[in-house]
Structure 1
Amino acid sequence: MSSGMRAETDAIVIGAGPVGLFAVFELGMLRLKCHVVDALPAIGGQLTALYPEKPIYDIPGFPKIVATELVDRLAEQAAPFHPKFHLEASVETLARLPDGRWEVELSDGRVLIAPVVVIAAGAGAFGPNRPPLDGLAAFEGKSVFYLVQKREAFRGKRVVIAGGGDSAVDWAISLSEVAEKIMVVHRRPKFRAAPESEAKLKALADSGRIDLVVPYQLDGLEGSDGRLEAVRVATLDGQTKSLPADILLPFFGLASQLGPIAKWGLEMDGSQITVDPASLSTNLKGVFAVGDVAGYKGKLKLILQGFSEAAMAAQAAHAIARPDQSLHFEHSTTTGVPVA
């Protein structure tokens, strides 16, 4: 294996959602460097993938903050510690080395080694529910996307959005401000989004800024070399038509499963990893779990509780990653942000 496929670090964080990002910051404040692994193509976890435009009201100091803005601020907070991200990759195996460190093998063949592993996988590893279309793989990452990372990438484009949930409706509303044309394909007139969002979508449709293609579903893709030219749609009784398009955004939700995590020898309670609530340590020394995937008596599945868990796990992780260094807890107002 080439050296480029193998890396040693202080901590491996599994999951790049909000709690995983804050764990990078907390570990960084203790001068522990991180590699971060996530199956999705962008950081932010469910906030980015499912609820990008939704306001969050229970983040301390922010009476209201949009999900994507929270992700951006967490990334900015972690940036001084230069985390290395491995996106669109999942952890396949976790094995203890003779020296006590953990070896993590990723689905892309890379191997990471660290004394500490922090599992911040939310409800599990997420991946998009892909529509069953012939030749789909050739267009993925070029003109078919399951996440929107930057709105500007869609400026002046003809965009087909498929789906009827919050993510489809939110992005249709948002991208209508920059795209040349937005077409929303859904199999029925009723959407599953928040009522106010659905009302705004239909108001934009009435004004001609968005085309509602209902009741239709995806039927095929037209184009070559990964470049989309049109999206074919069909009614339930087989009537088809072609929508000239540059981009397809299928928003059919995310598949969630613990996957290989369930086979690592961790003590589990259903789909949650059992942890010590004082340190967030699991039954495997050096492996911690934080956020929704961590379970203990009195657990609240809130982002703010995950933030607290990340801080506690980082303190406990320091003793394992730096056994020869005593840790004197200090407030950030005293220490500032350490220079990486």
Structure 2
Amino acid sequence: MPAADTSAVNAVPGPVHHQTDVLIVGAGPVGLFAIFQCGMLDLTCHVVDALDAPGGQCTALYPEKPIYDIPGMPHVTASGLIDRLEAQARPFRPQYHLSQQVRDLAATPDGRWHAVTTADTHIAAGAVIIAAGVGAFGPNRPPLPGLDGYEAGGSVQYVVRRKDDLRGRRVVIAGGGDSAVDWAVDLAGVAAAVTLVHRRDKFRAAPASVGRLHALAAEGRVTLMTPWQLAGLTGDGKRLTAVEITDLDGQRQSIPADLLLPFHGLATSLGPIHDWGPAIERGRIPVDPGTAATDTPGLFAVGDVATYPHKLKLILTGFAEAAAAAHAIHRHLHPDTPRHFEYSTTRGVPD
């Protein structure tokens, strides 16, 4: 991939509070695994994330969602995966800067990088890994009158923190993607009633999950309302008693409910990443799949934010990209120091 011209990029002024080999932007699962991969190559890491805890979407949106395609783990919850990745990274003593974003990032004359966060933390790094996932994100909120009050009262939520908190409650789920279908399936044995509302007859979820959903519907454990869509909320302004829905003909129906879970996807933005120099195509950063390098020297991208032909958008793909980036960064920072590849079984990890 041709190198971009960074000669016009000015260093960000200000004191340097931290020096590190690698700055990782994003503490989701791929960012956490990048810490481990860098650590195995004796590269130090600082990590910046806008959330107040590591984990990205796994922590913020679906901590109890089951994940089935992580090698060696037939079943793990999203939060369980993050716990394991944090433990794997811990021996390399990463420094986390949470509840803040990288506001400015610029190349310095010596070929390094200077980052400034929204908390005015200045970090100098030899290389940068952008592991920002979909970027800054938040739920797409349904346009319903009085929604703010019901959100404040806890009757409308966009994430299930603990599945057991919904035990015995009447739950309406809106949406047709993986999150909506998976939670309808998972809550069928927990909630008093589960109704899934979707404006189409077909779902955009994994076929196996859709199959389980239809099986539960046939057993009467989940009620499917398709093609219907949300129309209103009924209650005292904070506590929900029913969700109003309408079909394509304008027919209206009221579903008794204690909780509405709208899963209509995320509103995402790459924010200041646009100003950092790499090429961006359709909200993603093109990289060399063999190195995860962008077109800007010293700047790498891994996980959902990175793109290349025929990429599979899977966590395990991001893990492989993190390994490729770490090895490419070592060569970038130490071009005159040959390093023979070592398996983790022969090298081990620090105590």
Bucket of the pairwise TM-score, normalised by the shorter protein = 0.7 to 0.9
Deviation at 1:261, TM superposition (A): 1.9
Alignment-derived partner of residue 34 in structure 1: 46
Partner of 2:244: 233
- Cα 1:310–1:42 shift into 2, 3 Å: closer
Q: Hey, what does 2:68 align to over in structure 1?
A: 55
Equivalences for residues 250-269 of structure 1 within 5 A: 250-268=262-280
Equivalent residues of 1:39, 1:127 under 8 A apart? no
1:129 matched to 2:178: no
What SS does structure 1 have at the residue aligned with 2:260? strand
Give the drift of 1:201. 2.5
TM superposition score normalised by structure 1: 0.73
Question: Which residue identity is paired with 2:89?
Answer: A
Q: Are 1:40 and 1:127, in contact at CA under 8 Å, matched by a contact in 2?
A: no
For 2:288 and 2:135, how far apart are their aligned partners in 1?
20
| Change over 3 Å in CA distance of 1:156–1:8 after alignment to 2 | farther
Equivalent pair of 1:282/1:289 in contact (CA under 8 Å) = yes
CA drift at 1:242:
5.3
Within a 5 Å distance, the mapping from 1:1-340 to structure 2 comes to 8=18, 10=20, 11-29=22-40, 30=42, 32-37=44-49, 43=55, 45=57, 52-53=65-66, 55-56=68-69, 60-61=71-72, 64-65=74-75, 68=78, 70-71=81-82, 73-80=84-91, 81=93, 84=96, 86=98, 91-96=102-107, 100-106=112-118, 111=121, 113-115=123-125, 116-122=127-133, 124-138=135-149, 139=151, 142-222=154-234, 227-236=238-247, 237=250, 239-241=252-254, 243-245=256-258, 247-268=259-280, 271-275=283-287, 279-295=291-307, 303-317=315-329, 330-339=342-351
Q: Which amino acid aligns with 2:68?
A: P
Residue in 1 that maps onto 2:11: none
Over residues 301-334 of structure 1, what are the superposed CA-to-partner deviations in whole Å (9 max), with x where a residue is unaligned?
55444323312323454578899x9978654334
Give deviations 1:189-236, integer Å, cap 9, x for gaps.
5544444433432443344433334554223345678x5323431314
Aligned residue pair count? 326
Inter-partner Cα distance in structure 1 for 2:186 and 2:253: 28
- Secondary structure in 1 matching 2:89: helix
For residue 251 of structure 1, report the CA deviation from its aligned partner. 0.8
Label 1:20 to 1:224 Cα distance change in 2 as closer, same or farther (>3 A): farther
> Percent of aligned pairs with the same residue?
47
Quick check: 2:234–2:244 contact (8 Å CA) kept in 1?
no
Contact 1:219 1:233 (8 Å CA) reproduced: yes
Question: C-alpha separation between the residues in 2 aligned to 1:72 and 1:238?
Answer: 47
Cα distance in 1 for partners of 2:292, 2:117 equals 23
Q: 1:244 to 1:292 in 2, by over 3 A?
A: closer
| Distance in 2, Cα, partners of 1:274 & 1:161 | 35
Q: Distance in 2 between matches of 1:211 and 1:243?
A: 12
Cα 1:144–1:83 change in 2 (3 A) is farther
1:284 and 1:74, CA in 2 relative to 1: closer, same or farther beyond 3 A? same
Residues 79 and 171 (structure 1 numbering): CA distance in 2 closer, same or farther, change over 3 Å? farther
Please give the per-residue CA displacement for 1:237-271, whole angstroms capped at 9, x wherever unaligned.
162525331x3211112344534322322234565
Amino acid at match of 1:175: L
* Higher mean C-alpha deviation, range 109-118 or range 36-45: 36-45
1:64-104 Cα distance to aligned partner (Å, 9 max, x none): 556736555434423444663636x6554434568854224
SS in 1 for 2:179: helix
What is the alpha-carbon distance in structure 2 between the residues aligned to residue 209 and residue 65 of structure 1?
A: 23
Distance (whole Å) between structure 2 residues aligned to residue 299 and residue 196 of structure 1:
22
When normalised by structure 2's length, the TM-score is 0.71
Contact 1:40–1:126 at 8 Å: present in 2 too?
Answer: no
Tell me the secondary structure at the aligned position of residue 49 of structure 2. strand
Gapped regions of structure 1 (runs ≥ 5): 1-5
Seen in structure 2, the aligned counterparts of structure 1 residues 156 and 25 have a Cα distance that, compared at 3 Å, is farther
Shift of 1:166: 2.5
CA 1:259–1:196: 2 relative to 1, 3 Å:
same
Tell me by how many angstroms 1:172 deviates: 0.9
- Measure, in 2, the Cα distance between the counterparts of 1:283 and 1:96: 13
* Cα 1:144/1:14, change in 2 over 3 Å: farther
Q: Give the 3-state SS of the residue equivalent to 2:181 in structure 1.
A: helix
